[in-house]
């Protein structure tokens, strides 16, 4: 029987008593590595109680001291860099280089939190009225929680946890049940960093566990990252229970290529965007909008380059594209490919039925390209979350912008051009939260806010950067008068 992953509550590793579990399977080798318990409402309650108890003291711990624990944590992340990266590969299926990039991004989020002592300052105006001074102070709110997806099991929880606790809150993470192992390793390092009991807690589980988090009266705010369908449920439920909430949802990202773009460099970038992490990034390029004369040379160059990508096990250093996360994801993606064929798109490269020597049962989908895609087709509208690129040919820049803006999603969009006017018009007019100019994956660094628009984001303050200070603190205003 596979080992059940443990929860970490109030400074102790505890086994959940849950009856139902999710298997944790290496998507390349199909090895059953562990099972994730669907922790019960009582177990969420115990974590929330512990986090609340810890908050009462933690908020009084000087902010510079709070941040020092994060310095220890960062050192431990660096010392365990390779093991963390390998764990991500084993449970998620991406390549080792992609996993290293993920761990590095996680470390950068810890580095951002080092700045909290200067970022959470308030402001003051003397003599706002005769003899009266007014001050706005930032205070932590209490217990916060994250509900996170499978595709960046290490990085996404670290978008939130370090800043939340540096601001004086305490924290609960509920990772994806498919990829719980990276967080267990991270929590071992958090424990080693010396944080007091109850400041950080890990509760594994499924939708039921997440519901208990959203409904818990002691939890003040929730950061969700995942699909739009679930995100809407989370947004509504958290609002009903009076919580702060930020929901980073699904995506359908468009990449526009102008005739004046540098073709060779653009193709390399587009390839990384569409097929990096096997297309399982919320910033993955999914629709390639070829403008005017660039269409034929671009299509041919993309096809040639994509066909050469070496698909395989992420731990093999030769591998350029790993697996998708599960057999279920593979079936869903292959179903979308069939839908593209049925709806009349022309398939230029078909990634179905890829077999990798030594990994015959692995969940591999090869790079796939559709041509002659129209905006009404499912493959142009729905998030596929796999290595599938759809090519559309449009006559001009205006049609490209209109096509992109007609999408229900607005996570990211990129333009490839050498023309400053088009670049400026694009960033000004395209309705997406993250814009790339000659960049295929417009990922905000930890010091910048990260979030989409339209159905890709619900809430007010984005994740990361200055927005996260806003999310994890509340302004209190003090109006003062002193008599002689
Ligand atoms: P998902 O929506 O299935 O799951 C996300 C989290 O929600 C998991 O922890 C899951 O257990 C939990 N959950 C599932 N059902 C729930 C429910 N009914 N109520 C409350 N919580 C529930 O997402 P996934 O498949 O793990 O991740 C892929 C999705 O995440 C894609 O759509 C991708 O675009 C999106 N994503 C978005 C961003 C972003 O920043 N916008 C980043 C990464 C991934």
Closest protein CA for atom 30 of ligand 1: 226
Q: Is 411 in the pocket of ligand 1 (CB under 6 A)?
A: yes
Q: In this predicted structure, what is the pLDDT of residue 1?
A: 76
User: Does residue 2 lie within any of the structural domains?
Assistant: no
At 162 the pLDDT is 99
Alpha-carbon separation of residue 460 from 114, 223, 247, 418, 449 (angstroms):
24, 12, 9, 34, 11
460 and 336, same structural domain?
A: no
Same domain, yes or no, for 202 and 283?
Answer: no
Q: What is the CATH number of the domain that holds 405?
A: 3.40.309.10
Cβ count near 20 (within 10 Å): 13
Q: Which of 92, 216, 230 to mutate to test the pocket of ligand 1 (most atoms within 8 A of CB)?
A: 230
φ, ψ dihedrals at 311, nearest 5°: -90, 140
Q: Measure 424 CA to ligand 1 centroid, in angstroms.
A: 33
CA of 463 to the centre of ligand 1 (A): 15
| Residue 448, domain member (yes or no) | no
The answer to whether residue 1 sits within a structural domain is no
Under-50 pLDDT residues of the chain: none
CA 145–ligand 1 middle distance (angstroms)? 14
CB distance 249 to ligand 1 below 6 Å: yes
CB of residue 128 inside a 6 A radius of ligand 1: no
The number of the ligand 1 atom at minimal distance from the alpha carbon of 228 is 32
- CATH code at 72? 3.40.605.10
CA distance linking residue 152 with residue 143, whole number of Å = 23
Same domain, 222 and 158: yes
Q: What pLDDT is stored for residue 274 in this prediction?
A: 98
Same domain, 397 and 259: yes
3-state secondary structure the chain: CCCECCEEECCEEECCCCCCEEEEECCCCCCEEEEEECCCHHHHHHHHHHHHHHHHHHCCCCHHHHHHHHHHHHHHHHHCHHHHHHHHHHHHCCCHHHHHHHHHHHHHHHHHHCCHHHHCCCEEEEEEECCEEEEEEEEECCEEEEECCCCCCCHHHHHHHHHHHHCCCEEEEECCCCCCHHHHHHHHHHHHCCCCCCCEEECCCCHHHHHHHHHCCCEEEEEEECCHHHHHHHHHHHHHCCCEEEEECCCCEEEEECCCCCHHHHHHHHHHHHHHHHHCCCCCEEEEEEEHHHHHHHHHHHHHHHHCCCECCCCCCCCCECCCCCHHHHHHHHHHHHHHHHCCCEEEECCCCCCCCCCCCCCCCCCEEEECCCCCCHHHHCCCCCCEEEEEEECCHHHHHHHHHCCCEECEEEEECCCHHHHHHHHHHCCCCEEEECCCCCCCCCCCCECCEECCEECCCCECHHHHHHHHEEEEEEEEECCC
Residue 176 CB–ligand 1 contact under 6 Å: yes
Cβ of 386 below 6 Å from ligand 1: no
Q: Give a yes or no: residue 369 inside a domain.
A: yes
Nearest CA to ligand 1 atom 16: 207
With respect to residue 289, please indicate whether it lies within any of the assigned structural domains.
yes
What's the CA gap between 438 and 206, in Å, rounded? 39
How many Å apart are CA 73 and CA 11, to the nearest integer?
A: 15
Q: Please report whether residue 73 resides in a domain.
A: yes
Q: Based on the domain organization, do 185 and 43 belong to the same domain?
A: yes
User: Is 282 in the active site?
Assistant: yes
Residues 432 and 462 in one domain: no
Task: Tell me: do 157 and 20 sit in the same domain.
Answer: yes
Question: In terms of domains, do 400 and 467 share one?
Answer: no
Taking the CA of residue 149 as reference, the ligand 1 atom at the shortest distance is 26
445 located within any domain = no
Ligand 1 neighbour 282 (Cβ under 6 A) = yes
- Measured in Å, residue 231 CA sits from the centre of ligand 1 at 7
Number of the ligand 1 atom closest to the C-alpha atom of 150: 26
Same domain, 264 and 122: no
pLDDT score of 271: 98
Q: Are residues 101 and 81 in the same domain?
A: yes
Report d(CA 279, CA 268) in Å as an integer.
15
Same domain? 283 vs 187: no
Q: Is residue 54 part of a domain?
A: yes
Ligand 1 binding pocket mutation candidate from 153, 174, 223, 227 (most atoms within 8 A of CB)? 227
How many beta carbons lie within 10 A of that of residue 180, not counting itself? 28
Instruction: Report which ligand 1 atom has the smallest distance to the Cα of 456.
Output: 41
Do 379 and 235 belong to one domain?
A: no
Query: Ligand 1: distance of its center to the CA of 230 in Å?
Result: 6
Q: Which atom of ligand 1 is nearest to the CA of 147?
A: 9
Tell me the residue range of the domain where 330 lies: 253-437
CA-closest residue to ligand 1 atom 35: 226
Q: Is 432 in the pocket of ligand 1 (CB under 6 A)?
A: no
Ligand 1, residue 383: give the atom nearest the CA.
32
Is 230 exposed, middle or buried (CB count within 10 Å of its CB: 0-12, 13-18, 19+)? middle
Number of structural domains, the chain?
A: 2
Sign of CA dihedral 231, 236, 238, 244: positive
Instruction: Using CA atoms of 448, 453, 459, 465 in order, give the dihedral in degrees to the nearest 10.
Output: 0
Rounded CA-CA distance 225/152 in Å is 10
**Cα–Cα distance, 354 to 360 (Å, whole number):** 9
């Amino acid at each position: 029987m596979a080992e059940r992953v443990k929860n970490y509550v109030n400074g102790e590793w505890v086994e959940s008593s849950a009856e139902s579990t999710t298997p944790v399977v290496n998507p390349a080798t199909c090895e059953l590595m562990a099972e994730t318990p669907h922790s019960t409402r009582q177990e969420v309650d115990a974590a929330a109680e512990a986090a609340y108890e810890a908050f009462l003291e933690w908020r009084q711990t000087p902010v510079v001291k709070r941040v020092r624990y994060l310095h220890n944590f960062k050192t431990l992340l660096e010392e365990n860099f390779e093991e963390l990266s390998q764990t991500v590969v084993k449970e998620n299926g991406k390549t080792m280089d992609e996993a290293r990039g993920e761990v590095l991004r996680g470390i950068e989020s810890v580095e951002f939190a080092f700045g909290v002592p200067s970022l959470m300052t308030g402001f003051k105006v003397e003599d706002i009225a005769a003899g009266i001074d007014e001050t706005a102070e930032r205070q932590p709110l209490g217990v916060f929680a994250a509900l996170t997806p499978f595709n960046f099991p290490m990085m996404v929880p670290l978008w939130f946890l370090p800043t939340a606790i540096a601001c004086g809150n305490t924290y609960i993470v509920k990772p994806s049940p498919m990829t719980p192992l990276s967080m267990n390793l991270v929590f071992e390092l958090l424990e080693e960093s010396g944080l007091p009991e109850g400041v950080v807690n890990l509760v594994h589980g499924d939708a039921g566990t997440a519901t208990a988090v959203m409904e818990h009266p002691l939890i003040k705010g929730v950061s969700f990252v995942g699909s739009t369908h679930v995100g809407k449920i989370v947004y509504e439920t958290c609002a009903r229970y009076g919580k702060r909430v930020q929901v980073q949802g699904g995506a359908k990202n468009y990449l526009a290529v102008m005739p004046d773009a540098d073709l060779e460099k653009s193709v390399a970038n587009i390839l990384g965007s569409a097929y990096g992490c096997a297309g399982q990034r919320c910033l993955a390029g999914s629709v390639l909008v070829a403008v005017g004369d660039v269409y034929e040379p671009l299509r041919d160059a993309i096809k040639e380059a994509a066909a050469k990508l070496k698909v395989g096990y992420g731990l093999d250093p030769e591998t350029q594209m790993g697996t998708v996360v599960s057999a279920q994801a593979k079936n869903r993606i292959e179903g979308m490919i069939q839908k593209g064929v049925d709806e009349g798109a022309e398939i230029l490269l078909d990634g179905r039925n890829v077999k990798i020597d030594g990994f015959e049962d692995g969940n591999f989908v090869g790079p796939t390209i559709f041509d002659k895609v129209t905006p009404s087709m499912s493959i142009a509208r729905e998030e596929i979350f796999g290595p599938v690129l759809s090519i559309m040919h449009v006559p001009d820049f205006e049609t490209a912008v209109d096509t992109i803006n007609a999408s229900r999603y607005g996570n990211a969009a990129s333009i490839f051009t050498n023309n400053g006017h088009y670049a400026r018009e694009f960033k000004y007019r395209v309705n997406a939260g993250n814009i790339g100019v000659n960049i295929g994956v417009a990922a905000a660094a930890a010091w910048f806010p990260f979030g989409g628009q339209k159905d890709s984001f619900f809430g007010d303050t984005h994740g990361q950067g200055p927005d996260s200070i806003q999310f994890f603190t509340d302004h209190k205003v003090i109006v003062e008068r002193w008599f002689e």
